[in-house]
Amino acid sequence: MIAIATASQKGGVGKTTLCINLAYSLARRGWRVLLIDTDPQGGVGLSLAKSTKAREGFHEFLIRGGDLNKIVVPTRLPELEILPAGQYDTCARQGWSVHEVPGRLADLLRGAELRGVDVVLMDTAAGMNGTTEAVVKACDFVVLPQQAEPLAIRSVPHLLETLARFRAEGAGVRVAGILLTMVMREQEMSLKVARELREMLPSNLMFQQSIPRMPSFLEASALGVPVALTKRNPPPEALIFDQIAAELEQRTGLSKQREKEHGHASLLD
């Protein structure tokens, strides 16, 4: 099992959209995926179902631990399960010890592994402090969505500096890649930002695929589904996340693992 966090300094860069759609794509590609919402805003739950607002979830687990199996929410896709954010305000009133968070996160990941999960995908709050820092440090990989606009891009050095600090502090988390999001193909400035970042950073640090800003993502949020489910047959933009999932499999070694297990498939015999 591998644990992957998404993280960014800036809010509103599309982390939750990425997490929901990426989790769906990975699950469709045969991995057992647990999507965990660690963001107090509970964006994952809000995006997918009204009922998750009242459910216990990640923050309750942070406070008292317990049986992960009782708080995981299944989806109609058997390979995809969700752990919603839970009742952050209630939990915050009770308070939790910062020092206990790493241990609880380790318990959480162990519980996921016992459930047979292949990939834990963790959506985080914007910024790199508090719980988000602990979440990123607990993960094997971090995906860094970067909005393709000047102000967001300027936070990249700060973000990398923070990750360098994590490594210096002994965290084993590795960067799966920087993923350009909300690219406006009709806006020269947005394209210029994307080009600059690609020119400055090594290619293996950047996802080849980027996520454009498209109305269909709004439509998916309104319907409470991944983009692939907005139409009977997945629309072209849903394939963007399949491409990202495939890249992620390679970048994290997941595909290697599967090849080791199954080898290549033959079309006929």
Partner 1 sequence: MAMQVSWIDADRLKALVAQIMPQEPCEDEAPQAVEIETVPDAVSMSAIESWNAAMDWMEPVTAPLPAAEVMETEPAESLQPQPECEEPPKFLAESPEDNLENEDDHGMPLHNPAAALPLSRIRDKLRAIRQRATEAGILTRVSDAAPPSAPEAAMQAPIDVSSPAVADPVTPLPHTPIFEIPLGSRDERLAAFAAWARQVLHEDGGHVLVMSDE
User: Rule CB under 8 A: which residues touch partner 1?
Assistant: 1-2, 140-141, 150, 153-154, 156-157, 160-161, 163-164, 167-168, 172, 174-177, 189, 192-193, 196-197, 199-202, 204-205, 250-253, 256-257
Least gap, CB of 199 to partner 1 (angstroms): 6
Of how many residues is the chain composed? Answer: 269
Our CB check for partner 1 shows the closer of 168 and 267 to be: 168
Q: How far is the CB of 203 from partner 1 (least distance, A)?
A: 9
174: part of which helix (H) or strand (E)? Answer: strand 174-181
Interatomic CA distance for residues 121 and 232, integer angstroms: 26
- In the bound state with partner 1, the residue whose beta carbon lies nearer, of 90 and 157, is 157
Least CB distance to partner 1 at residue 163 (A):
5
Instruction: Give whichever of 77 and 246 is closer to partner 1, judged by the CB atom.
Output: 246
* Helix (H), strand (E) at residue 35: strand 33-37
Q: How far is the CB of 62 from partner 1 (least distance, A)?
A: 24
CB of 98 to partner 1, least distance (A): 24
Name the percent of the chain in helix, strand, coil, to the closest 5: 50, 15, 35
Using the Cα atoms of residue 224, residue 39, residue 81 and residue 227 in order, give the sign of their dihedral. Answer: positive
Query: H/E/C letters for each residue in 109-144?
Result: HHHHHHCCCCEEEEECCCCCCHHHHHHHHHCCEEEE
For partner 1, the closer CB: 59 or 251 = 251
